[in-house]
Amino acid sequence: MLPPGGAFFASSSSPRAPAYFSFLKTQFSLLNAPMKVTLALLQHACAADPAANLKKTLALAGQAARKGANIICTQELFRTRYFCQSENHDHFALAEPIPGPSTRAFQKIARRHGVVIIASLFEKRASGLYHNTAAIIDADGALLGVYRKMHIPDDPLFYEKFYFTPGDTGFRAWKTKFGKIGVLVCWDQWYPEAARLTAMQGAEILFYPTAIGWHPSEKARYGANQHSAWETIQRAHAVANGCYVAAINRIGHETTAAAAAGIETTTAVAGVSHETTDAAAGHKTTAAGADHETTAAAGHETAATAGAGIEFWGQSFVAGTSGQILAKASVDKEAILLVPVDLAKVDVTRTHWPFLRDRRIDAYGDLTRRFCD
């Protein structure tokens, strides 16, 4: 049934007909957005050559699309090894503009296969201005926008403050062909405020491109707790917001020398891992003997840890709207993790666990303060 005046606008001889039919097409698409979609998380090791890493990731994205994926997400900074293990100005040459060659390559795949793609990139915004950025591409190949990582860590072997300017996009959600998605990056995953503000914009799925792992010298003593904390807090985001959460991590053992791809770098310092239980709580180890998850050297360089690098723990996963693990990849194997999800469950969960309804927004003013003292 046509709305008033529809017969005139629908007339093939009317100059306004193309615009009217475009309007109808858009409305039909929104009303008939699929509720069941398949996510694809691309987990792999990275080589020294950025071009090879891009080629590999594009190939994995194509495979995922052919296997039925609707939304594909890369791991954090997939084009390079994790260069933030050292502070080296030469590494700024690894950055690229957005839009740029990588986004154009992914846009081509998105158009060809009709898939949504989230690509994590080292963005050169201007001379001296760099970001850790995720590009969001819709199923028609359109670049919907970018999210620039808001929380920037500075821990042993995770010296991101040297490279990345804190994001200025705020927390965002994008309406795509396959649902409304929010994107955050790695260190953001420890902050419930980030997940909440993204979910409050209607995000049904939160994606977290990630690069996290163990200091080898700490793994035996603290490894299980560190990984458990990482997984638990993201599952909690799913519970608190009644949405799906997808975390995409890399695999492989990368040392400072390997990350530099032959460039001389500074020596690594032992200490608390990038994303640990204490890091989640906002603590940093400052003294020997403190009850934090550190080496016995309490942050001091030792022969056993200097240059030992990071053992990335993989285990990319998707959590359901009640925080349950729906699927998880291996700790050390490449994977295209395909996970079907039903977006209708977001509405069901939020209706039966109405956390958004019962928020006391009148009492949360102090959240904008650094500390209540």
372 has catalytic annotation: no
Q: Which two tokens stand for residue 149?
A: 């990582």
Long-range contacts from 355-362, C-beta under 8 angstroms, 24+ separation:
355/240, 355/241, 355/242, 356/200, 356/241, 356/242
Note the helical H segments in 260-317: 277-281
Contact (Cβ atoms closer than 8 angstroms) between residue 118 and residue 183: yes
User: Would you tell me the crossing angle of helices 216-241 and 192-199 to the nearest 10 degrees?
Assistant: 30
In the block, which residue shows the tokens 């939160």? 206
DSSP secondary structure letters along 203-230:
-SEEEEE---EE-HHHHHHHHHHHHHHH
175 has catalytic annotation: no
Residues 60, 138, 95, CA angle at the centre, nearest 5°?
65
Spatial separation of the C-alpha atoms in residues 171 and 200, rounded to whole Å: 10
149 has catalytic annotation: yes
Pairing state between β 325-328 and 317-319: antiparallel
HSE of 241, CA atoms in CB hemisphere, 13 A: 26
| Of 124, 186, 275, 293, catalytic | 186
| Of 76, 96, 204, 293, catalytic | 76
Q: Exposed, middle or buried: residue 313 (CB in 10 Å: 0-12, 13-18, 19+)?
A: buried
| Of 149, 177, 328, 345, catalytic | 149
Q: Within 10 A of 366 (CB to CB), how many other CB atoms are there? A: 8
Q: Within 10 A of 101 (CB to CB), how many other CB atoms are there? A: 11
Q: Which two tokens stand for residue 266?
A: 């500074």
Catalytic machinery residues: 76, 149, 186
